Amino acid sequence: MKISVLAENLSGSEIIKIAGEINELKKQGQNIANLTIGDFDSNVYPIPTELKDGIIDAYNHNQTNYPPADGMLNLRESVSAFLKNRMGLEYAANQILISGGSRPLIYSTYLALVDPGDKVVFPTPSWNNNHYCDLTGAEAILVETRPENNFMPTADEIAPHLKGATMLALCSPLNPTGTMFGKKDLEEICDLVIAENKSRSADEKPLYLLYDQIYSQLTFGEYQHYDPVTLRPELKDYTVFIDGGSKCFAATGVRVGWGFGPAFIVNNMKAIVGHMGAWSPKAEQVAMAKYLENETDVNTYLDHLKGNIQASLSTLHQGFQALKADGFSVDSIEPMGAIYLTIKIDYTGKTTPDGKILSNSADVNFYLIKEAGVAFVPFSAFGTGEEVTWFRASVGASTLADIQQMIPRIREALIKLK
Ligand SMILES: Cc1ncc(COP(=O)(O)O)c(C=O)c1O
């Protein structure tokens, strides 16, 4: 039976396919370390106690009816203060929109700014821009990035694509790589956006910037998060930020996201999110408003979470560097932020003990799932070509002990490939 052209053409998630394979093997009794999903095991990484208590308390006080369409005013005020204190960003409550996690904010930014056929420029690998382009009928302009730049886009790579584009979608720290923009690189890209907008007349649609900084509180060591509006304040009129509590408070199931930008855009996003009914649950908003105000609790939680995530990422990174030093065709990029490590496993074209040739990174991944009990996600799931031999490892759903145990298993599995 006929369904909509949009529904027919939507591509499924490669990560969900990998999850299917893992579940099948788990049913057969195999123990698989699942480094695929950009989530947390909430028994390893519970949400902040004060946030949890606040949510329970809000339900006990019957905070269960519709929240305002743009979010509870006290939460938008807490977010406003949080942005000012942590990043020096000045956004008033009416420039902030709350939704059920940050996905509806991304989708509503696309719907508010991008018409079918409009060009949206984004780097690959990156997270889900391809799907949002499919949903809005936008023309996706993929900009391939390079390992020597930590898979972050450069101004030189982006410049040829901005003429006539409606939106540039950037993310830092980046899912899937766990790498981030340096100051100068982001400044150069900002200057391109400013120059492009100067070249357009007042009745043309400007070039907007979607800046996803959902991992901005999860940075390690000396790595510092930069944003376009702090670096170039004149970009404030063109930039929509995506942010929220899902990752920094390991609260992916709590569903409180915040987006901010020019009030006229945020107002339109509010109408769209409202029609989808994609607002954040009221009790969670009440609790998040209170939690964000307590800087000491937030700092204590973030220090603890970052310490553990960084330990897992560094252990995995060192494990891959040790394999590389021993002559294996692998590599990894130093973790800078988020919950991801970028790893290279260059075994395409090799033959398994039962005679199967691994023809691409998806084959290599399935081989490691079966043989080493470890699952990653090939970068092809994030928009790169099939020939790319890099993968994302996500550590939020594993313990440090799980990660320590997987390196010898990977070593054994790779030795068997000829
Ligand atoms: C870069 C990025 N932005 C946004 C999201 C969506 O987050 P949420 O769970 O708040 O919808 C994710 C989730 O994986 C992400 O990686």
**Quick one: pLDDT at residue 12?**
75
Q: Are residues 283 and 323 in the same domain?
A: no
- pLDDT per position as a tens digit, 2-20: 999 988 888 777 788 888 8
End residue of a domain, out of 241, 268, 294: 294
Q: What is the CATH number of the domain that holds 279?
A: 3.40.640.10
Kindly give the parts of the chain with pLDDT less than 50. none
On whether both 202 and 122 belong to a single domain, the answer is yes
Name the E strands within 301-403: 330-333, 340-345, 374-375, 377-378, 390-394
Tell me which of 235, 262, 294 is where a domain ends. 294
Residue nearest to atom 14 of ligand 1 (CA): 38
* Percentage of residues of the chain with pLDDT beyond 90: 93
pLDDT digits (tens, 9 = 90+) for 363-417: 999 999 999 999 999 999 999 998 999 999 999 999 999 999 999 999 999 999 9
Atom in ligand 1 nearest the alpha carbon of residue 101? 10
How confident is the model at residue 15, as a pLDDT? Answer: 83
b (16+ CB within 10 A) / e for 58-84: bbeeebeeebeebbbebbbbbbbebbe
* Token representation of residue 207: 């070039």
Protein residues with CB under 6 Å of any ligand 1 atom: 38, 101-103, 127, 171, 175, 212, 214, 242, 244, 246, 252, 257
How far is C-alpha 80 from the geometric centre of its chain's CA atoms? 22
pLDDT in tens, 161-198: 999 999 999 999 999 999 999 999 999 999 999 999 99
CATH of the domain at 399: 3.90.1150.10
Q: What's the 244 CA to ligand 1 centre distance in angstroms?
A: 9
Beta strands in 213-363 (DSSP E): 239-244, 257-260, 330-333, 340-345
Residue 375 inside a domain? The answer is: yes
Number of domains, the chain: 2
Q: How many other CB atoms are found less than 10 A from the CB of residue 131?
A: 17
Range of the domain at 368: 5-30+300-415
Per-residue model confidence (pLDDT) at position 21: 86
User: Where is the domain boundary, 272, 294, 316?
Assistant: 294
> Is position 244 within any domain?
yes
Predicted local confidence at residue 125, as pLDDT:
98
What is the model's pLDDT at position 23? 87
Q: Which residue type does 391 have? A: F
- pLDDT at residue 262, rounded to an integer: 98
Shared domain for 341 and 379, answered yes or no, is yes
- 3 state DSSP class of 209: strand
